[in-house]
Chain A
Amino acid sequence: MISKDLFKKPNNRLEGEQDAAKAARQAAAWQCAECKANATRDAMTANDYACPRCGAYVSMTARQRVQWLTDEGSFREMDAELLPVDRLRFPEYAAKLEKAQKETGEPEGVLTGTAAIGGEPCALFVMNPMFIMGSMGAVVGEKITRLFECATKRRLPVVGYTVSGGARIQEGMFSLMQMAKTSGAVLRHGEAGLLYVVVLTHPTTGGVVASFAMEGDVILAEPKALIGFAGPRVIEQTMRQKLPAGFQRAEFLLDKGFVDRIVPRKDQKQELRLLLTMHRREANR
């Protein structure tokens, strides 16, 4: 597991606001967490969720990512009715789930469905960094498994965006077993000759890295994304040494041979469209 501050929520909550105009102004205002530049949210989102001045990426919810990535009106969500189950009655988990659901307005940590990217149909999953650190519980594993199974049946390629602190502790072994389950579904999709492109975003770690995040035919990563099996703090404790700069960043993984390409956000739609086009079934004939 990795440190919580990797999953900072964007500063977009408004509470106890009296003046409606001031509220609207504040809602429209946005400040970069990196360079502290002031801009409007619209300018930031129009810049592909990057700071208009320094280019630093802004964390995206799953829904924002889907809206940003897919052709307008093309996303057909699947399995939205699946709700997490506190099978172990793990202390404080029910309350934690309720809080996450309230804060995100989502029932769980991943969105799945079919969509079009630049006119190319695909099955899509996008993980949500705001939902208990993007952790993988049984519903996350189940939805991703169902997506791959559906894509296999309908002969669709899968595009997946990962962001995760790893397995969800509060679901114990039900969480760990999702690694095996999703891997089985990815295998079957691949055996059917279908394409799986995964985009690793900041941060992708733990059980997700040790399963479907690393099982793509093509593995893309966002610049500077932290990607690793063990979190940096755990490694520092084990090794009793400071980690080298850039360790476990996307560029480091590219250098070591574990990532095909690092793709800036502004280029992702185009690159995904290209990949999907080049892997169309009829393109191979």
Chain B
Amino acid sequence: MTKAYERVLAARQKGRPTAMFFMERLFTDFLEMHGDRRFADDRAIVGGVARLGGLPVTVIGIEKGVATEEKIRRNFGSAHPEGYRKALRLMKQAEKFGRPVLCLIDTSGAFCGVGAEERGQGLAIAENLMAMMGLRVPILSLLIGEGGSGGALALGVADRVWMLENAVYSVISPEGAASIVWKDAGKAAEASEALRMTAEDLLGFGMVERVFSEEGGDFEQVCAALREALAAELDTLLRLEPGELTRRRYEKFRRIGGDGQ
């Protein structure tokens, strides 16, 4: 057991609040919007319009589900291309109506399957990355549990990226890294340490702007803190002219891995 792996286990813990728990507490008047207008409605991604205080916002969350039947319906929070395309559709809609976008991320990764490949999983993620880079409204992404690689990044190209204390965010699962690098999936604990995937690590790297305490598991209190922080942050971001907003967003990601060569 390593410290990082404790975080990984906490992020995956049964009973940990999922995206809709936060949506219900952070927002009011939530109206869910279904479907990608192309193929289907991916239940792993829940999105729609809501209010944060008085402010209309577009909300998009990756939902793992709570009860077994719901987990299956939501594919355990592993989205297919149609899920990412639904998210993109809602982001474009937000841009049209000048609403900020709030993303809640909790996924072990984009789904790896025949159908996902047949419908262009790689393309769907790539299109989101590009579109989010250019979206002319504020985007704020909050990692509430697992941030699984490209499937998380597809909702994570944001002006502000925040994490809960026990959320993790990684290029690959520790199990996957251990089995590729050491040919031993049993070394996941060591791998999670080596990958530097905790909220603290990412804050130190400048990839995340804020980390929120989980208040010893009192998630009602966490939501109260989040609600206040979100309102204040959106107020700041909405003051920026769209060209300035996207320029700063690009510059933020542009710096990563670019210096110290």
Contact = CB atoms under 8 A, between A and B. Distances in A.
A145 to B, nearest CB: 7
Contact of B126 (A137, A167, A209, A239): A209
Interface in B214-261: 249-250, 253-254, 256-258, 260-261
Interface in B17-46: none
A172 B156 CA distance: 16
Given A175-B171, A186-B130, A228 B202 contact: no
Contacts of A207: 149-150, 171
A213 B150 CA distance: 14
B113 A239 contact: yes
A120 interface: no
Q: Is the interface of A mostly helix, strand, loop or mixed?
A: helix
A282 interface: no
Contacts of A180: 129, 133, 153, 156-157, 253, 256
Interface residues of A, number: 59
B169 interface: yes
B256 A238 contact: no
Contacts of A187: 130, 133-134
A174 interface: yes
Interface residues of B, number: 52
B254 to A, nearest CB: 6
Nearest to A208: B122
B181 to A, nearest CB: 6
A13 interface: no
A210 B122 contact: yes
Interface string A241-277: 0011001100000001010000000000000000000
B180 A169 contact: yes
Given A172-B171, A173-B202, A184 B195 contact: no
A105 interface: no
A142 interface: yes
A183 B126 contact: yes
Nearest to B169: A173
Interface string B102-126: 0000000011111011111111011
A142 B254 CA distance: 8
Interface stretch (A60-68, A82-90, A110-118): A82-90
Given A82-B261, A170-B181, A229 B133 contact: no
B137 interface: no
A161 interface: no
Contacts of B177: 169
Interface of A: 1, 81-83, 85, 87-88, 90-92, 137-139, 141-142, 145, 167, 169-181, 183-188, 191, 206-207, 209-215, 228-230, 234-235, 238-239, 243-244, 247-248, 256, 258
6 contacts: A85-B260, A142-B261, A171-B171, A176-B171, A209-B126, A228-B121
